[in-house]
C-alpha cells in the first residue's frame, strides 16, 4: 500500500474511500453522505482527486490481496492502523471520523467490516470523546438494580 504525507488530502481520501468500499460494495447513499459531509471541500480535494485516490486504493488492495481467489480482499490490522496514523491532526481526525460514520451508516446497514474500521479509527485516534453525564444520572448511578 502506498504511503501519503501526514494529514494530506490523499491520506484523508483513502480513509473515506475505505469507509465506502470496506463492506464490499459502494452504495449511492454513501456517495451522498460523503458529499453532504463537506469533508472534501474542507481539505481542499476536488472530485477528480478523490476519484484518483479511490482508483489507487483499489489497485493497492488488489495488488496486496491474499484471498483473490475467494473474491474478497482483506486489509490486515497493522496496515489499517498505519493508514489511520497518517492522520495526526486532532481536528482533522474528528472531522474525518464524523464523515466516516456518516458514510458507514448511510445505507442503514452496519457491516462488521465497517464496524471494525470505525473501531480501529477510534483506537488509533485516542477513542471517542467522553460523553458528559447529566447530574441526575450521576446521582442515581449507585441505585440501579437492573
Cα 110 from Cα 132, distance rounded (Å): 26
Burial 70-80 (b: 16+ CB within 10 A, else e): eeebebeeeeb
Cα 63 from Cα 30, distance rounded (Å): 25
User: pLDDT 10s per residue in the chain (146 long)?
Assistant: 899 999 999 999 999 999 999 888 888 999 999 999 999 998 889 999 999 999 999 899 888 766 555 556 677 888 899 999 999 999 999 999 999 999 999 988 888 889 999 999 999 998 765 555 454 443 333 433 33
Cα 31 from Cα 60, distance rounded (Å): 21
pTM of the model: 0.81
The pLDDT value given to residue 128:
66
Cell 467490516 -> residue:
113
Give the tens place of pLDDT for each residue, 32-53. 999 999 999 988 899 999 999 9
The pLDDT value given to residue 126:
87
Amino acid at each position: 500500500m502506498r504511503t501519503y504525507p501526514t494529514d494530506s488530502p490523499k491520506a484523508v481520501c483513502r480513509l473515506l474511500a475505505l469507509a465506502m468500499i470496506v463492506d464490499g460494495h459502494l452504495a449511492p447513499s454513501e456517495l451522498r453522505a460523503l458529499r453532504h459531509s463537506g469533508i472534501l471541500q474542507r481539505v481542499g480535494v476536488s472530485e477528480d482527486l478523490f476519484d484518483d485516490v479511490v482508483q489507487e486504493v483499489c489497485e493497492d488492495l488488489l495488488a496486496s490481496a491474499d484471498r483473490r481467489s475467494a473474491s474478497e480482499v482483506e486489509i490486515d490490522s497493522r496496515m489499517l492502523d498505519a493508514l489511520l496514523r497518517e492522520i495526526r491532526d486532532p481536528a482533522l481526525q474528528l472531522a474525518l471520523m464524523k464523515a466516516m460514520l456518516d458514510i458507514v451508516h448511510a445505507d442503514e446497514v452496519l457491516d462488521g467490516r465497517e464496524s471494525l474500521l470505525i473501531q480501529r479509527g477510534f483506537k488509533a485516534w485516542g477513542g471517542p470523546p467522553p460523553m458528559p453525564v447529566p447530574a441526575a444520572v450521576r446521582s442515581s448511578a449507585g441505585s440501579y438494580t437492573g
